[in-house]
Amino acid sequence: MKLFRLIRRQCLIAIIVLAALAGLPWLVASRAQTPSPQSRFEAATVKVDGTGCVGMGTNGALSSPGRLRVLCLPVRYLIELAYGTFLDGAMAQTRRLMVTGGPGSLDTDLYDIVAKAEGNASVPQLYGPLLRSLLEDRFHLHAHRETRELPVYSLTPGKSGTKLKRLSAGACTPVEWFQPLPDDGQSDSCGFQSIGRYGLRRTLDAHGIDMATLASALSGPHAKLDRPVVDKTGLTGLFEVHLKYSLDTPGASGDSDDSGLPPAVSDQTSQSIFAAIQTQLGLKLISDKGSVEVLVVDHIDRPTEN
């Protein structure tokens, strides 16, 4: 329990996203920041991860103003961050950018990156413009954007209505990016998301998020859905979300099952994500088609290690 609480304190979120892979909490907010005039890191080390990701779970929490440090991340996800989530050095969009094309190594090669920027560039700037330059310089990445009609899941209200708790005005406090979590792992900050990964089981707890942000979180790799999720709930405002589910196919993720679960999820159901969204949130995922912006990788190389 003590170790579990320590890990929770160390972690922050993305929406969406880095924690989605790490499976531990981060804290996000959508307050815009002025992009840094810098275009490149002052120094950067890039190498293939040799740890096997054992014990990995603190990606973004390792970064700080002026210093980027990520461990055990695939290149495709780094591209999503640099060209999507943190496009202009702030949270550019609530919907996750789909990256397509490129070799299989985009998903199989996991990298450790340590980079230093001149001055105190913010963490979103590190993951946005500066990381984008690093990918172009060191990986020789060339890509272009397209809008495609693709299969999606539409997030809609269930037949019996939603079970979400709507927050009243002023019930949560907007915060700056990447604030540390309190000791109990909870927060009354708008945009707080805690994403847990325990073997084949998953949890998503969020406070003060809108439905577009929920759709983005469900599009993340922790949910292992085969298509993006689009918000078609018609719901406005901010909500609390508490979701527990299990991956549909045991062993498909390469994870062991639920041995050693912390008490926080020991009573978790074995519902699939589709059933859990319906019974726990009063929402529904419906197979659909929609216009999706994608980033097409035209060319990328493995970088020469330092």
For residue range 131-183, list pLDDT tens digits in order. 999 999 999 999 999 999 999 999 999 998 999 999 988 888 776 544 444 54
The rounded Cα 89 to chain-centroid distance in angstroms is 16
Q: Please, is 257 exposed, middle or buried when counting C-beta atoms within 10 Å of its C-beta (0-12, 13-18, 19+)?
A: middle
One-letter amino acid identity for 269?
T
Total count of residues recorded for the chain: 306
Q: Mention every residue, 6+ apart, whose C-beta is less than 8 A from residue 90.
A: 31, 32, 33, 35, 124, 128
Residue 112 to residue 163: CA distance in whole angstroms: 41
pLDDT at position 192: 76
Radius of gyration of the chain measured on its C-alpha atoms: 19
pLDDT at position 243: 94
Query: Is residue 116 a contact partner of residue 66, using CB atoms and an 8 Å limit?
Result: yes
- pLDDT beyond 60 at 263: no
What are 149's strand-pairing partners? 291
- pLDDT beyond 80 at 83: yes
Using 50, 70 and 90 to split pLDDT, how confident is the model at 286?
Answer: very high
